[in-house]
Amino acid sequence: MTLPVMALVGHPNVGKSTLFNRIAEERLAIVDDMPGVTRDRLYAQADWLSREFNIIDTGGLTLEDEPIEEQIYAQAQIAIDEADVIVFVGDVTTGVTSLDEQIARILFQSKKPIVLAVNKVDSQARKSEIFEFYSLGLGEPLAVSGEHGKGIGDVLDAVVANFPAYEEAADENKISFSLIGRPNVGKSSLVNAVLGEERVIVSNIPGTTRDAIDTDFVDEESGLEYTIIDTAGIRKKGKIYESTEKYSVLRALRAIDRSDVILIVIDAEEGIIEQDKRVAGLAHEAGKGIVFIVNKWDTQTSKDHKARMKFESDVRQNFTFLAYVPILFTSAKTKKGLKDILPMVEYVHDNNRREISSSVLNQVIQEAIVINPPPADKGKKLRINYGTQVSVGPPTFLIFVNDEELVHFSYKRYLVNKFRESFDFTGTSLHLIFRNKNK
């Protein structure tokens, strides 16, 4: 299911990051009085009135070497392209500025739902000053205080009311998988190679793919039905859009929402960069099945077993949190390794949906306790009573204990490793939840 997206837009220093933190209920964004402190467009999942959604803080859309007008335009365009609902943030202490008017004109032409939030209304006396913002033509201004958490509910009520209706559930018999990664790693070429036909645009210019393209097909060998999702690149041309890779992150996030298995594509020619880690982190946090695809392996002067071992070691060192993820070496150009992709997607998908009976699970838990008894904390010892699997995608286990506060992260990691030794969970994360038995 694709989660709807709300984006916070406004000129620098209106308090977008503070509102973002309030809505996400975490201090994920850097907050500072200096304009432009937010260096990256941050994103998080939030929920309101039982509706889950993604939220973007567009503070990081500005580039220091660009005129403020171009920065604002880029910020507004990204929000228009990506968001289902746009929250335009004004500042009651400055009133309506020329930048506000400029942003409002751009957003108004988008025809996207817009919620107008006037921030920094920290006192009752300030409330009467918000009516000036009616002049922007964006509807009723809502008074909020990100600093004190006032008025946030009114904004979220309006946002959720404008979200699109729930999408229909995907066909459970069909495996959806997407290829994500930074621009120009060969995602579209791999899609074409897997499909065996030219179904999407292929180019060596980063940002060629403008929209996510879903293609349904049947694997002739296995008879399984698949949906392959080629994640979009940068939709708009221009220096602001193409001078940084961070604009592709949200599209990767949306593709992850809709996929059962994620293929993280790494460029063998350029090696691993920080952006690869960011994209991989998104897939890991979403609990989806994951496969590493090292593409363009044909470009390596040495392609023997030792070279593969060296590159695989580099992947493991850079992605320590994804030690459970298998690695395939491919070349979309020479078709090398492509025959392994679909069987691996099926394999990882099955592991991500694997169910373990309670009797077998508790046998493994008891064996783990015998080998390594839970440690004591301040004279109180952790006792594990029993466990049960509560969901799949990822496999999630509820374990009842005498005191969940006594569960140390190292012992949780130990149990995860024991589960992996006992059951095949290659390619999927595991989620362990500890609860007091009397709850």
Q: What digits encode the pLDDT tens for the residues 217-276?
A: 888 888 888 888 866 543 344 444 444 444 556 667 777 888 999 999 888 888 777 767
What pLDDT is attached to residue 67?
63
Residue with token string 């909020």: 144
Query: CB neighbours (10 Å) of residue 148?
Result: 14
Query: Which CATH number fits the domain that encloses residue 190?
Result: 3.40.50.300
Distance set, CA 298 to CA 132, 326, 389 (Å): 62, 20, 43
In total, the chain counts a number of residues equal to 439
What pLDDT is attached to residue 70?
67
Task: Tell me if the bond preceding 394 is cis, omega within 30° of 0.
Answer: yes
- Domain span at residue 151? 5-161
What pLDDT is attached to residue 75?
62
- Residue ranges for the binding site for GTP? 10-17, 57-61, 119-122, 181-188, 230-234, 295-298
Query: Which CATH number fits the domain that encloses residue 371?
Result: 3.30.300.20
| H/E run at residue 8 | strand 5-9
Look at 247 and 214; give whichever has higher pLDDT. 214
Query: CB neighbours (10 Å) of residue 243?
Result: 12
Angle between helices 358-371 and 409-422 (to 10 degrees): 120
Angle at 53 between CA 47 and CA 58, to 5 degrees: 110
Look at 326 and 10; give whichever has higher pLDDT. 326
Does 322 score more than 50 pLDDT?
yes
- Residue ranges for the binding site? 10-17, 57-61, 119-122, 181-188, 230-234, 295-298
The whole-number average pLDDT for the span 337-345 is 93
Please give the Cα distance from 290 to 352 (Å, whole number).
Answer: 9
Looking at the structure, tell me whether residues 10 and 96 fall in a common domain: yes
Residue 300 lies in a domain: yes
Please give the Cα distance from 128 to 103 (Å, whole number).
Answer: 23
Looking at the structure, tell me whether residues 311 and 381 fall in a common domain: no
Q: What is the pTM of this model?
A: 0.68
User: In angstroms, how far is CA 38 from the centroid of its own chain?
Assistant: 19
Looking at the structure, tell me whether residues 252 and 127 fall in a common domain: no
What pLDDT is attached to residue 340?
93
Per-residue pLDDT band at 66 (split at 50, 70, 90): low
Looking at the structure, tell me whether residues 190 and 276 fall in a common domain: yes
Does 361 score more than 90 pLDDT?
yes
